[in-house]
Amino acid sequence: MFWPFLELQDQLVYCPLADFGASGVREGQDLYAQAVVAQPVTAHMPLKNAFEMQGKIAVLQRGICDFVTKVLHAQRAGAIAVLVANNSGDGRGEAFVMDAGHRQDQLLATVDIPAMMVSWSYSTEIFQQIREAYLDRRALAFTIRFLGADTASRVLAQQESLAQQHRNAMRCIEIKEQREHQQQEAANLLRNRLGKADKAIEPSAMRSAQNVVATPSTTLVILDVQNYFVLRHGYGEKHFDKDHEVGSTHSTQAKRHSNTVGLEFYDCVDNVLIPTIQDVLLASRATEGMEVVYSVVESATRDGRERSRAHKHAGIHVPRHGFGAQVPKRIAPDDDYDIVLPRTGVK
C-alpha cells in the first residue's frame, strides 16, 4: 500500500490514487517528468497534442467522460502519469479516489499508468505554473513520490500540525485586531465625551481659564488595585483565616460559603476588573490632557506604626516597597508619565 504525493512549491501535496491502473508503481518510487496540459483538457477524445505527451505527466480536468477514458487517452499518447484536476462546481473541489464506475470491459485492464486526483485549489496553482513556464519558454517538471503508509501518515500529521499552528496564529491576529479596534472605539468615545464637556463650560469660565498657566486635564484615579488586595493569597484570605481560628459547624459552613464568594471575587478581578482597567488606561493614555494617578496602600515604616486607626483595626499592613504595594503587571503604571501616591490611612 502506497500513497502518492506531488511536490509543489517545496510542499508535499497528497493526491489520491485511482483504484485502477498503476500496475508498475512501487513504494518508494519517484516519477520525475515534465507536465503538459492535455488538448482537449478534459481528454474525452484522443489528444490533439499527443506528440507532446511522450514520457510526460498529463494534466487533465474532470468532465464529459469517465476517468478510465481520460487515462486511456493520455496513456495512448505516451504519458507516464495523469493528474486530474477536480474542477467541480460544488464549491469544494476536494480530491478523491477515482474509480472505474460501471466499466468492466477489457480496456480497463489495459490501464497501466498511475492516475491521481488533485484538489481544485492546488490544480489552479499547477495550471498557473504551466502557463508561466510556457510564456517563459521553459519546461516545467514535477516529482510524484509514492510513500509507504507509515511515512505518509507522518507527513500528513506534520502538515495538519502546521495547519493548526497557522490557524491559531491567524486567530491570534484576528483577536488582536478586534482588541485594537475596541480600544480605538473606546478612545474615540472618551474624546467625544471630553469634547462635549469642554463645550458645556460657560464663556466666563473659559476666559478665566485662559489666565491659568497650568494646562487643564482630567484625571483617572485607580484606587487600591494592588497585589495585596487582588491576589488570592492576599489580605482577604488572611483576614478570613484570622476571624475563623476557632472551628465549629457554623464556622465551617461559613468558611465554605466565604471560600465560594472569595473565588467568585477573584475570578471577577481577573476576568472583569483588570481587563476593564486595561481598556480605560489605553483610552486615557491615547487622549491628550489625561492624567493617570494610582493610589496604593503602603506603610511608611517597616512596622506600620504610623497607620491609621482603621487600618490597624482591620489588620492592614503593606510593607514599604513590598510586593503587596505593587500594582499588577497587566495594569502597571508608566514610570515616565503616571503618578503613584502611597497612603497609610483610609483618607
Neighbours of 148 (CB within 10 A): 12
* Residue 157 included in any domain: no
Domain count, the chain: 2
* Residue 136 included in any domain: yes
| Residue-number span of the structural domain to which 128 is assigned | 3-147
Neighbours of 147 (CB within 10 A): 21
Identify whether residues 116 and 233 lie together within a single domain. no
- Reference 79, options 48, 106, 109, 52; nearest CA is 52
Which of 91-105, 210-224, 299-313 is the least confident region?
210-224
Identify whether residues 227 and 111 lie together within a single domain. no
Strands across the sheet with 115-118, in order? Answer: 11-14, 2-8, 141-148, 30-37, 57-61, 81-85, 115-118
**107: left (phi > 0), else alpha (psi -120 to 50), else beta?**
alpha
* Percent of the chain whose pLDDT exceeds 90: 3
> Of the spans 187-191, 201-205, 243-247, which averages the highest pLDDT?
187-191
Q: Has residue 39 got a pLDDT over 80?
A: yes
pLDDT of residue 293: 92
Mean residue pLDDT of the chain comes to: 78
Q: What is the pLDDT of residues 101-132, one digit of tens each?
A: 777 677 777 888 888 888 888 888 888 888 88
> Of the spans 146-155, 242-251, 328-337, which averages the highest pLDDT?
328-337
Identify whether residues 136 and 236 lie together within a single domain. no
**pTM of the shown model:** 0.47
Q: What is the pLDDT of residues 288-343, one digit of tens each?
A: 778 899 999 998 888 888 888 888 888 888 888 888 889 999 899 988 888 999 88
CATH of the domain at 51: 3.50.30.30
Any idea of the CA torsion for 207, 212, 214, 217, to the nearest 10 degrees?
Answer: -30
* Residue 178 included in any domain: no
104 half-sphere exposure, CB direction, 13 A CA radius: 1
Q: Which of 98, 113, 147 is the last residue of a domain?
A: 147
Locus of grid cell 486607626: 309
Contact 21, 114 (CB under 8 A): yes
Handedness of CA 181, 187, 192, 193 (dihedral sign): positive
pLDDT of residue 104: 67
111 half-sphere exposure, CB direction, 13 A CA radius: 24
Greater model confidence, 186 or 268: 268
User: Rounded mean pLDDT of 222-237?
Assistant: 78
pLDDT of residue 164: 81
Identify whether residues 30 and 143 lie together within a single domain. yes
